[in-house]
Structure 1
Amino acid sequence: MRRTILLFSVLALMSSTSIAQTKKTKTVVKKEFPASISRPKLVVGLVIDQMRWDYLYRYYSRYSNGGFKRLINEGFSAENTFIPYTPTYTACGHASIYTGSVPAVNGIIGNDWFDPKLNRNVYCAEDTSVSTVGSNTRAGLMSPKNMVTTTITDELRLATNFQSKVIGISLKDRGSILPAGHTANAAYWYDGQTGDWITSTHYMKKLPIWLEDYNKIKLANKFFDKNWSTLYPIETYTQSDADNKIYEGKARGEQTPTFPHPLKLYIGKNYEMIKSTPYGNTITLDLAKLAILSEDLGQGKSTDFLAVSCSATDYVGHQYGPNSIEAEDTYLRLDKDLEEFFNYLDSKIGKGNYLFFLSADHGAAHVPGFMEENKLPGGRFSESAAIKKINTALEEQFKVKKAILASTNNQIYLNHKAIEDAKANYDALKRVAIDILKQNDEVMNAVDLNNLPGETMPEQIKKAITYGYNAQRSGDIYFYLKSGYIGSGSTGTTHGSWYPYDSHIPCVFMGWNVKPGKTNKTHYMTDIAATLAAMLHIQMPSGCVGEPITELTHQ
């Protein structure tokens, strides 16, 4: 025992002596920092509207090697990425991805919302102080002014003293404007009335020549002339339901919601219809490639940013549902388009010189008719009927006529002036309205938005509602439906809930400084902007609540 203690003492002494000698002889070596911060030439963000996370794998065996498969195999995927707020809508999703924030902070609480002061709905991107550029319609009276925080694209512009170019492109104005941010060089969206890509005077007074020339082609007509048949023999679409289902929506001029879809009906007269076909994604990515070429994106000294949103997936999904052949065919065609886009980026920017990420603004519920057919929980809820019932009860009990001003985004706006004029008890009236809402079989719960801490519900749902609540723009009451239930209507589906089918989204990075890999740790939509900020060594957006995906940034 004594020998052991002695040996330990000797070793300790030797160690301390060695350390002391090292301290005496150690030379200070200055860490060398690079002359400049390393950044990619170009960042490309692709938001696929209404892309459920499972679409990455549902059609995996049918994807080409160069599209979604390449993204999954060469990229880093945060497999459990969720939207942390509700309602899960397009404008909210695009704003939150790029602000790293939530509706409670960035102000985008829906595609539109009710404004009691104006006594009308306000569209998320509306701006009557600007003018349309590129057409004579009102489709260009848009800007990002209703978004009250900065975006990661704004922060990139600020970090490079506005030397970085930022461009947003989408069929939908909100899918282009919100991601591009306040300081973007340009945001372009599709005018379905004219078949042209347009913008507003928020960005410029005149379209660039290259876009004016492109608009003259009227590319939509060329795709209309092809009609829409399945990319592969229709019998091979075994991941989808039968083609002719009564709960799928019919396109204008069609007798049945079946292939082939006769698009020639729309040539030269109904340009809006391109949005509801996979060709809407094709023309979007076609314009993205042209913008890279024409604006020399990725060719300057500073990192440029191209924010693209493919919206046709949302239009198709709403009309036919996630289990339709139309949805499967749309993703198989998008896969081909994505492969071409990646190849273009490789040749124009250089493989490894660009950072690419893919996500979605929300998912989608299965069509209620499909759920019922397969003995799964789900159905439709008549919100208008419920509101009428509540108004009648409140008038009888509190003598308040039209106590509900509006109902939108699962929120009810009470008529405060009418309640005050009737000298009714606001809290008591609100509690009655909540109790009546809860009596509907389709409603899971209804809560007081001004007293969320006192409401009894799962913490995850409470947090989602809280993150979606904006004090200046939200209503008085929030209600959410049971799993699988959506609003009224006889065909198609929608989204908006906190449930995973609406809130579980893809989040995959590929390219510059990204090693292949996956993580099953839970992350959130708001982490995307924080991750980009960390990778680019720039400030997070002003309202960012997300955190960097360290499994990716620490590789």
Structure 2
Amino acid sequence: MLGKKTTFFFLFILVATSPLYLVSQKKSKKVDATQLKTSPKLVVGIVVDQMRYDYLTRFWDQYDEGGFKRLINEGFNCKNNHFNYAPTSTGPGHTSVYTGTTPSRHGIIGNNWYDKVNEVEVYCASDSTYASVGTSSDAGQMSPHRMNVTTITDQLRLHTQKRGKTIAIALKDRGAVLPGGHTANAAYWFHGADEGLWITSSYYMDQLPKWVKDYNESGKVKDYKKTWTTMKDVSTYVESGLDKNRYEGLFETETTATFPHDTPNMLNKNADFEILKYTPYGNSITADFAIEALEKEGLGSDTITDFLAISFSSTDYVGHKYGVNSKEVEDTYIRLDKDLERLFKALDKKVGNGEYTVFLTADHGAVDVPSYLKDMKIPAGYFDSDAMKERFSEFLKYTFGTTDIIKNYSNYQFFLDHKIIKNLDMDLAKAEELIAKELLGYEGVDQVFTGHQMWNNHYTSGIPYILQQGYHQKRSGDILMVLEPGVVTYHETGSTHGSPQIYDTHVPLLFFGKGVKKGSTVARTEIPDIAPTIAALLGIAFPNGTTGKPIAKVLE
């Protein structure tokens, strides 16, 4: 009689060598191989400029099923998603989404910043070595040359030996140039002024493609030069404040910031297309052009993955003008929801439902209008820069004998003249500390940090962590100032952003489509996690400056 061990051994041999077992093993190995990557025909990256996370929940009942609700109901919602650096502004925001890292590595430390090597102010996307294409103005003299690392769009182009296309589209030049990366086939942005044209830079091409020329000549943009009325009955916009209030800006010729907005500039068919950016029609123009690009460029038409980067910028213009609690913002998001639905239907038709992958996020949030908050008895206010300058100048003269020790003040950063400090036989760290302690005593200032602190400490949480992630050793200033929550440097109407405060850092992050699980998480995610998540989904290399991590829960 065989023992138990011997019986088990023979049974194991019998099962392991049976045809059924071998087939199942082969099938298992095949499944594992297919899990190396997901291959959507097209990846669509959507950045909504100045979108707070709570716009999803506040306006939920106003949305239809095919836009934001489709993304959330069929996709994955990261509810606790944040920017992990400051300044929270458009240039750094778009760059961080697509590079998987922060300004401390990618180098885009603001929309504009002081170049302390050449002692001039620079714009994040400007490049005078290239010419405008599609306009005789200088609005097309742009390139991504100030961005120090690759983007997810670059990595896809490299992975496919440039067989996969990348097209980037936005009203703002920086909203197209930076997401497109260094290798985009094209980046297009909207030149308003008195032209109303989609343009580009000679960095990408010598002349516009025929389809873009045809689009510019079609008159479709002119059709949006019309009165801005609400999409729904304004009385149903209960998710926002009163239409008539003192917290909103005015269009030229208006006496009240109320619906309908029908100024002569809007109705004039031949001039002032810039005004369209400050209406939801700017987003509709963007959606129209993106859908045209989808078809004319043949995006997602084969098995080699393409990338379409879209930024909806009018949400930012409207927020700045009217504030986050305005009926204008509510109407803008209701209309954007319809534009997203149009876009998704076009993707379903041209690429195929289930054949593309989408992510949607924002480049920053925004603060409630401080004057409104004050009326609600919530601590808030406006930082008096002029009063600071007067008192600060006296301090500098008394302490250092000159005001020239400050070379520049921008983005709440002070750039010091290191030569003067050296001539005074003073230690730089000591000079920084003296100035920081002085600034900390000013009304409206919450915290101050020095470059010495940024260099010598490793912060892992709180405001110092956020500042350090935005601090670039070669480009940033010597002293970093943080205003109190609810305090801004801005006029008394409309909303703004840029701070490390949570209302500027908390933004949506939605994933949808091929390779994406359905679900949600309240675990913290950060903006630099987006690019490596998409890279992991596609099975391609991470952007070369990546500091974020793939969000495992998102991926199938």
Q: TM-score range by the shorter chain?
A: over 0.9
| Alignment partner of 2:307 out of 305, 308, 319 | 305
Distance 1:50 1:162 in 2: 32
Give runs of aligned pairs for residues 147-296 of structure 1, distance below 5 A.
147-193=147-193, 194-224=195-225, 226-266=226-266, 267=268, 268-296=270-298
- 1:59 and 2:49 equivalent? no
Q: Mind listing any 5+ residue stretches in structure 2 that lack a counterpart?
A: none
Residues 167 and 180, structure 1, Cα contact 8 Å, conserved in 2: yes
Any idea what the Cα deviations from partners look like across 1:467-523, whole Å, max 9, x if unmatched? 100011000000111111111422222111222211111111111122321111111
Preserved CA contact (<8 Å) 2:459 2:465: no
Residue among 457, 463, 466 paired with 2:465: 463
Counterparts in 2 of 1:384 and 1:151: CA distance versus 1, 3 Å = farther
Does residue 391 (structure 1) correspond to residue 381 (structure 2)? The answer is: no
**Alpha-carbon shift at residue 265 of structure 1 (Å):** 2.0
Amino acid at match of 2:179: P
- Cα distance change on mapping 1:523 and 1:210 into 2, 3 Å: same
Taking the TM superposition and a 5 Å limit, the aligned residue runs for 1:315-326 are 315-326=317-328
Secondary structure of the residue aligned to 2:438 is helix
Q: C-alpha deviations, 1:140-174, integer Å up to 9, x for none?
A: 11001100100000000011111000000000011
Q: Distance in 1 between matches of 2:5 and 2:78?
A: 45
**Matched residue SS, 1:219:** coil
Give 3-state SS (helix, strand or coil) of 2:221's partner.
helix
Q: Identify the match of residue 12 of structure 2 among 22, 31, 55.
A: 22
Contact 2:374 2:381 in 1 (8 A): yes
Q: Say if 2:467 is the partner of 1:486.
A: no
Cα 1:442–1:347 shift into 2, 3 Å: same
User: Which residue in the other structure is 2:359 paired with?
Assistant: 357
| SS of aligned partner of 2:318 | helix
In the alignment, is the contact (CA less than 8 A) between 1:400 and 1:424 conserved in 2? Answer: no
CA distance in 2, matches of 1:443, 1:87: 16
Q: Which runs of 5+ in 1 are unaligned?
A: 1-12
Question: In structure 2, the residue corresponding to 1:526 is in which secondary structure?
Answer: helix
How much has 1:117 moved relative to structure 2?
2.4
Within a 5 Å distance, the mapping from 1:38-187 to structure 2 comes to 38-187=38-187
Query: 1:527 touches 1:548 (CA, 8 Å); kept in 2?
Result: yes
CA shift, 1:21, in A, is 5.6
- Cα distance change of structure 1 residues 314 and 87 upon mapping to structure 2, 3 Å threshold: same
**CA gap 1:24/1:140 in 2 versus in 1, 3 angstroms:** same
Q: Secondary structure at the match of 2:149?
A: coil
Which one of 516, 528, 531 corresponds to residue 530 of structure 2?
528
Quick one: distance in 1 between partners of 2:473 and 2:233?
Answer: 52
**Aligned residues of 1:130 and 1:141 also touching (Cα < 8 A):** yes
Kindly state the Cα deviation for residue 14 of structure 1 after the two structures are TM-superposed. Answer: 3.8
Q: Secondary structure at the match of 2:524?
A: strand
Counterpart CA distance in 2 for 1:107 and 1:385 is 32
Q: Distance in 2 between matches of 1:44 and 1:116?
A: 37
Matches within 5 A, 1:499-538: 499-538=501-540
Letter paired with 1:59: F
Aligned-pair CA distance for 1:429 = 2.9
Q: State percent identity of aligned pairs.
A: 44
**Partners of 1:150 and 1:220 in 2: how far apart?**
33
1:219 Cα offset (Å): 3.2
Measure, in 2, the Cα distance between the counterparts of 1:136 and 1:63. Answer: 41
Supply the distance in 2 between the matched residues of 1:491 and 1:145 (Cα, whole angstroms). Answer: 35
CA distance in 1, matches of 2:282, 2:233: 22
What number of residue pairs does the alignment pair up? 541
> Which amino acid is the alignment partner of residue 209 of structure 2?
P
User: What is the rounded CA distance, in whole Å, between the counterparts of 2:208 and 2:308 in structure 1?
Assistant: 18
Q: Deviations over 1:218-269 (max 9, x none)?
A: 4333212x21111112221111111122221112232222211124424222
Deviations, residues 184-233 of structure 1 (Å, cap 9, x unaligned): 00000011222111000110000001101111134333212x21111112
Whole-Å separation in 2 of the counterparts to 1:453 and 1:119? 22
Q: If the length of structure 1 is used for normalisation, what is the TM-score?
A: 0.93
CA shift in 2, pair 1:454/1:22, >3 Å: same
Q: Is the deviation greater in 50-59 or in 230-239?
A: 230-239
How far residue 119 of structure 1 moved from its aligned partner, in angstroms, is 1.9
Tell me how far 1:20 sits from its aligned partner.
7.6
